[in-house]
Amino acid sequence: MGRRRPGVPTLEEVAARAGVGRGTVSRVVNDAAGVRASTRDAVRRAIAELGYVPNLAARSLAGRRADAVALVMTETDWRLFGEPFFSEIVRAVGDALTDSGMQLLLTLIRSDTERRRFVEYARGGRVDGVLLMSVRAQDPLPDMLADAGLPTVLLGRRTGEECVTYVDADNVGGARSAVSHLLDSGRGTIATITGPLDMYVAQCRLRGYREALLRAGVEDVPSLVVEGDFTQESGRRAMADLLERHPGIDAVFAASDTTAAGALETLRAAGRRVPDDVAVVGFDDFLLAEQTDPKLSTVRQPVDEIGRTLVRLLEEEMEEPAVAWRHVILRTELVLRDSA
């Protein structure tokens, strides 16, 4: 048995000792269903070792839970839900909730009416917390949920001044590493196909592109930047536009793997060899990156860790709202394959 720490043991200490989230400890304390036997045993051992005494008031509140989390996608274009990013995040969040006993509810919000309707639904006690993804710059939904006192965590940010708790990837650093690799490989005319620039994630990836050029002393040419929307079709169109503007282009950084896949199609149709004539790097590292021809060099987002961190922060907000918002930025990694 481990030695007890001085003072009264906390729920956080039990969670750390058992290697689980706060929410899982709470469900074991309240004898809620949906926790694996091995996990339950580990939590009970940690409780015994630390001498933890549950807070009866917190137990009473926990008993009134809905045992459901909403994953909300704020997107007006239905087509985007066919993109790998959405399905990968849903999988990662679902995996992270496996031991929690909570249901995952998916919902799509496209209008102000649907925003108001969802907030009323959530306030009615039908969900315990909300995960938001694909939130654009002026979207009021995170603030509406915060004002309603609903535990909320964002995937990504609306702006650089975001105050609501969020989990994000290092989009600036990831893009900068991709473009720096292209520069180090001797590429001289490097274009980028961005995501929709009313999304902060797309702005950050564009910023990383520009920072890499600046550090290398390479001119930032506005006509080498074309806005896309993270889809394959936008990659096709943007690549055709770039080839018309700059026939001598020798590299492209695309803000998503699906956009990069579209660019590869256009390059192939134009008779440009990849990577001999034009190098291509994407962003995400989903299964698609290993299915393109050639296989795609890309920036890997830690999707599983994103899912786990989203759920952990939401559980903590549900257990006891923190004094401060939590902002977590996870590292990315450049993965080199055949396209660059």
Asked if residue 49 belongs to a domain, the reply is: yes
| 35 and 131, same domain (yes or no) | no
- In terms of average pLDDT, the best of 31-40, 58-67, 237-246 is 237-246
> 209-238 burial by CB neighbour count: b if 16+ within 10 A, else e?
bbbbbeeeebeeeeebbbbbbbbbebbbbb
CATH of the domain at 109: 3.40.50.2300
Signed CA dihedral, 12, 18, 20, 22: sign only: negative
| 200 and 217, same domain (yes or no) | yes
Asked if residue 337 belongs to a domain, the reply is: no
Per-residue pLDDT reduced to its tens digit, 255-270: 999 999 999 999 999 9
Asked if residue 1 belongs to a domain, the reply is: no
Per-residue pLDDT reduced to its tens digit, 180-190: 999 999 999 99
Could you list the residue range(s) of the whole structural domain that residue 203 is in?
A: 171-300
| 164 and 307, same domain (yes or no) | yes
Q: Which helix (H) or strand (E) holds 129?
A: strand 129-133
| 164 and 240, same domain (yes or no) | no
Distance, CA of 183 to CA of 65 (rounded, Å):
53
Asked if residue 32 belongs to a domain, the reply is: yes
Strands lying side by side in the sheet with 166-169? 103-109, 68-74, 129-133, 152-155, 166-169, 327-330
pLDDT class of 4 with cuts at 50, 70, 90? very low
Residue 102 has pLDDT above 80, yes or no: yes
pTM: 0.78
Q: What is the residue-averaged pLDDT of the chain?
A: 88
Are the CB atoms for 128 and 316 separated by under 8 Å?
no
| 130 and 231, same domain (yes or no) | no
| 164 and 184, same domain (yes or no) | no
Asked if residue 265 belongs to a domain, the reply is: yes
Which residues make beta-bridge pairs with 105? Answer: 70
pLDDT at 163 (0 to 100): 84
Backbone dihedral angles phi then psi of residue 201, each to the nearest 5 degrees: -60, -40
Tell me how many domains the chain contains.
3
Q: What percent of the chain has pLDDT over 70?
A: 90
Strands lying side by side in the sheet with 279-284? 225-227, 190-194, 251-254, 279-284, 297-300, 333-335
Per-residue pLDDT reduced to its tens digit, 123-154: 888 898 999 987 888 889 998 998 888 899 99
| 307 and 290, same domain (yes or no) | no
pLDDT at 61 (0 to 100): 47
